[in-house]
Amino acid sequence: MTVDNFSNAAETTLNGAINNSTTAITVTSATGFPANTPFRIRIKAESGNLDEICTVTAGAGTTSWTVTRASESYAGAQAGQSHSDGATVQHVLTVEGFLSVTTPMPDITQSTSGFQTSSTTNGITFGATPTKGLICLVFGTTRGASSITQTNVTWTQRYTGNGNSQFFEVWTGAISGTAGTSVTVNFASATRSNVEVYEINHADFTSVGTAVTNTGSATTIYTMGPLTSPSRGSICVGGITTNGAGSQYGGMNIPFFSANFFGGQGRGVIFIFNEIAMMWAQTPTALTYFGAMMSIS
C-alpha cells in the first residue's frame, strides 16, 4: 500500500471545467498542497452535482495534476461528476488516506517456503491459485538459482548478490492465464537452499531499487541496513543467507512479514518502508552470512 502525503488547510480552485471522467485537471494554485503524491482532494459540489473525492497521483508542486476520479465515496456517492471552472478544490484526510499510514504491512495474499539440504531443485506449492504480483526470494550456498518454472508464470531475476559464498536473489513472476500452484526453483548443481514465494495484492513487480548489502564471518549476530533511500510507503524486501541451517531468530525495527523467519538456509522479509529499516538475526553457533535489502516495484 502506498502511503498518502498530507498538509494543512490547502485549498484552491479548478482552472477550467472538467467532465465526469477526465483524469488531467488544472488548478489555479498548488500552494499549501503536499509536495509529493499521492494525496486526496475533494472537489466541492456546485449546483446540480455532488462532492467528489479524487486521488492526485502525479503533478505535485505544479498546477497540472493527474487524478484518479471518484477514488472514494462521499456521503454515500462514488461517481465522477462534471465540475465548473472555479469549483473549490480542498486537500482532505479520508478513510483510505488514513489507512495508508496506519497499515504498515504489505497486503500479503499467501506465502510458502521450502528448504533443501542438497538438491538441484527446490519445489514448493501455493495453497490457492495465485492471481497477483509474485515475489520469490532465493537463498543458497555457493550459487543462486538458474531458473524458476511455474505454469503460466514468467519468472525474471531482478537482483542477485553474494558474499562468503552465500547467495541472495530476488525474482518476480508475471502471470499470464491461469497460474499453476507449483513453483520449482532450479539450480545448476546440487546446493543447500531455502526459497520463499509471496503473492502480494499488487500489479506485477518489474524492478528493484539500489540494494544495501552486508557480509560477515564467524558471528552469531547478523545485521542488515540501514536502508534509507526508498520513498516512504514503498514495498521492500530483505534477506540474510548463512552457511548453516540451524535454528535462527531475528526481527526488524519496523513491522514485517516473513514466510519462514526461523531456521533454514536463509530468511526473508517483506515490509513497508517508512524512514529507516534495519534487519537482524541470531544463531547459537557462529556462521558466515550475506544479506541485502531493497525496494521493489
Q: What's the number of domains the chain is made of?
A: 2
**Is 87 in the same domain as 136?**
no
**Is 217 in the same domain as 253?**
yes
Closest CA to 5 of 100, 143, 122: 100
54 assigned to some structural domain: yes
180 assigned to some structural domain: yes
* Higher pLDDT, residue 30 or 251: 30
CA–CA distance, 87 with 110 (Å, rounded to integer): 44
**Is 172 in the same domain as 258?**
yes
**Is 67 in the same domain as 168?**
no
**Is 33 in the same domain as 164?**
no
Averaged pLDDT, 185-204: 92
Query: pLDDT band for position 267 (50/70/90)?
Result: confident
* Higher pLDDT, residue 104 or 123: 123
Closest CA to 148 of 130, 161, 135: 135
**Is 152 in the same domain as 280?**
yes
Q: What is the pLDDT of residue 266?
A: 80
20 assigned to some structural domain: yes
**Is 196 in the same domain as 56?**
no
Q: What is the pLDDT of residue 104?
A: 61
Domain boundary among 76, 102, 128: 102
Q: Which domain holds residue 120?
A: 108-295
* Higher pLDDT, residue 250 or 23: 23
Q: What is the pLDDT of residue 13?
A: 97
**Is 86 in the same domain as 122?**
no
Task: Quick: pLDDT tens for 16-54.
Answer: 999 999 999 999 999 999 999 999 999 999 988 999 999
Domain boundary among 67, 102, 137: 102
26 assigned to some structural domain: yes
Average pLDDT, the chain: 90
5 assigned to some structural domain: no
Q: Is the whole model's pTM more than 0.95, yes or no?
A: no
Domain boundary among 50, 75, 102: 102
For the chain, give the percent of residues with pLDDT over 90.
Answer: 65
**Is 131 in the same domain as 188?**
yes
pLDDT at residue 218 is higher than 90? no
236 assigned to some structural domain: yes
**Is 62 in the same domain as 124?**
no
4 assigned to some structural domain: no
Query: pLDDT band for position 102 (50/70/90)?
Result: low
**Is 140 in the same domain as 236?**
yes
Averaged pLDDT, 96-108: 74
* Higher pLDDT, residue 157 or 3: 157
CA–CA distance, 79 with 55 (Å, rounded to integer): 13
Query: pLDDT band for position 1 (50/70/90)?
Result: low
